[in-house]
Structure 1
Amino acid sequence: MTRTLTALFVSLLVLWPVPASAALPSDANATSRILSPLVVAEHLAEEPVYVHPDRYVSTESSLVLSEDRARDLNDRVTEELPGVYLAVTPWPNAPRSMGTAVVNRSEAEGTFLLVGDGLTVISVRSEGDKVPGPSSDTVRMVLAVVNQRPDLARADLGDRLDIALDLLGDEEAAAREYERMSSDGDPGGRALSLVVVLLAALPLVGLAVWALRRRALRPVRVVPLSEAVVDTVDSAAREELRRELARDLPSYGRRVAGFKGPRSRAAKALAAYEAAARVLDTAGDVSDLVGVRVLLDHCEAALTAGPSPRHCFFDPRHQGVKAPASLRVPASPRATTVPACPDCRRDVHAHVPPRAVLDSSYGLPSPYYAVPAEQSVWAATGYGTLAPDLVERVLSGGARG
Structure 2
Amino acid sequence: MSSDRRPTDRRSLAGGLLATLLACAALLGTGAPARAEGTPAAGSVNSVVDALRTGPVYVDPAFAAAVTAAQQKELADRIAATGLPIKVVLLPLNKGDAFDGKSKSLAAVVNERLGQPQLILLTNDDYGSWLTGTEWPADTHQARDSAAAVGFLKELKDAGLAARVGRAIDLIASGKGTEVYKAEIARMDRERSARPHTDGAGSGSSSDGGPTGLLVAGVAVPAVLVAAGSYLVVRRRRAPRHTAFSFPDAVFAADRAADEAGLRRQAAAEVLALGEAVNGADGATTPGLTRALDAYDAAGRVLDGARDIPDLAGVLALAAEGRAALATEPRLPLCFFDPRHGAAAGRTDWRPLGRRERVDVAVCADCSQALRGRRAPQVLAVRDQGRTVPYFEVPAERSLWAATGYGSLLSGPEDTLAARVGTGQFSRARQQPADTED
TM-score, normalised to structure 1, is 0.40
* Larger Cα-atom Rg: 1
Bigger relative CO (Cα 8 Å, ≥ 6 apart): 2
User: What TM-score, normalized by structure 2, do the two folds share?
Assistant: 0.37
Q: By percentage of residues, which structure has more helix?
A: 1
